[in-house]
Amino acid sequence: MTRGPSATLLFVHGGGFCKDCWDPVVRRLKALPFLTNVNFVTFDFKWHGENYDHSVAAQVDRSNPEKLRVDHPARDITTWAPAQV
């Protein structure tokens, strides 16, 4: 009888990276004999890696010429990140 994974390890990347940054780590962990029954999960948050939507351009806010700001939906991580996990 084959058992399913005894645990799932979720790997989340930091800002500006993609899920592929975890590949070397996951590869080494999978080689460990005591982690043979573990499921490894990596994913890209919205606006990162494969989930980046290039059709949405950043906008430069020039309302204060001394403090230009760049606005893009990716900045609002507190809105979209909880829904991703």
**N-to-C CA span, the chain:** 32
H/E element holding 11?
A: strand 7-11
Q: What is the rounded distance in angstroms from the CA atom of residue 38 to the CA atom of residue 57?
A: 39
pLDDT in tens, 30-78: 999 988 889 999 887 776 667 666 677 778 889 988 988 887 766 666 6
pTM of this prediction? Answer: 0.58
**Angle at the Cα of 44 (from 33 to 55), degrees rounded to 5?**
160
pLDDT in tens, 11-34: 987 777 788 889 999 999 999 998
